[in-house]
Amino acid sequence: MRIGVLAVQGAFAEHINKLRQLDTESFEIRQQNDIRKNFDGLILPGGESTAMSKLLTELKLLEPLKSMIQGGMPVFGTCAGMILLAKEISGCDSPCFGTLDITAKRNAYGRQLGSFRCTDRFAEKIIEMPFIRAPYAERVGENVTILASHENRIVAVRQDNQLATSFHPELTDDITIYKYFFEMIENRN
């Protein structure tokens, strides 16, 4: 299994370190040549979603990656990655990929000072959830499965080949969500 990690901005190094700990091959996606490599899954890290969206467009990565996602490439978006995947973003006219049928609320838990850690249930297991200027899903489409909520806010979802979390599992020792993503890749049709 080989995972491409979007590395134009944000917390991509943390995902690569976690994948290394899990003995999973990964590489950084920074330019068009990188997406010509063979890979089985894609991670969209946390960071600043507006900057990431602009860089994806400028580097001409947006449309090819969107086509891959629409074609069934398993993708896992954390925090800003959830926003990049969202079909709608509250108070914003133009989504980035727009492939995940949710409405994301940006900075839903406040600014950096509003960051926190908690534990809650993800797909029947209690895990640690670090939230950093996190979004959540205000609305989910009928084909979207809610995998986790915290204080009645949707913080993890799946739609077909797309997995998204509001929080940062790469900043914990827990590997539950990575294992879930790996199973998505292994079970890909």
Per-residue pLDDT of 22-49, as tens digits, reads 999 999 999 999 999 999 999 999 999 9
Look at the chain and report how many structural domains it folds into.
1
Domain housing 16: 2-186
Compute the distance between CA of residue 24 and CA of residue 181 in angstroms, rounded to an integer.
12
Say yes or no to pLDDT of 112 above 80: no
Catalytic residue IDs = 79, 168, 170
pTM: 0.95
* CATH (domain of 146): 3.40.50.880
Q: Rounded to 5, what percent of the chain is helix, strand, coil?
A: 30, 35, 35
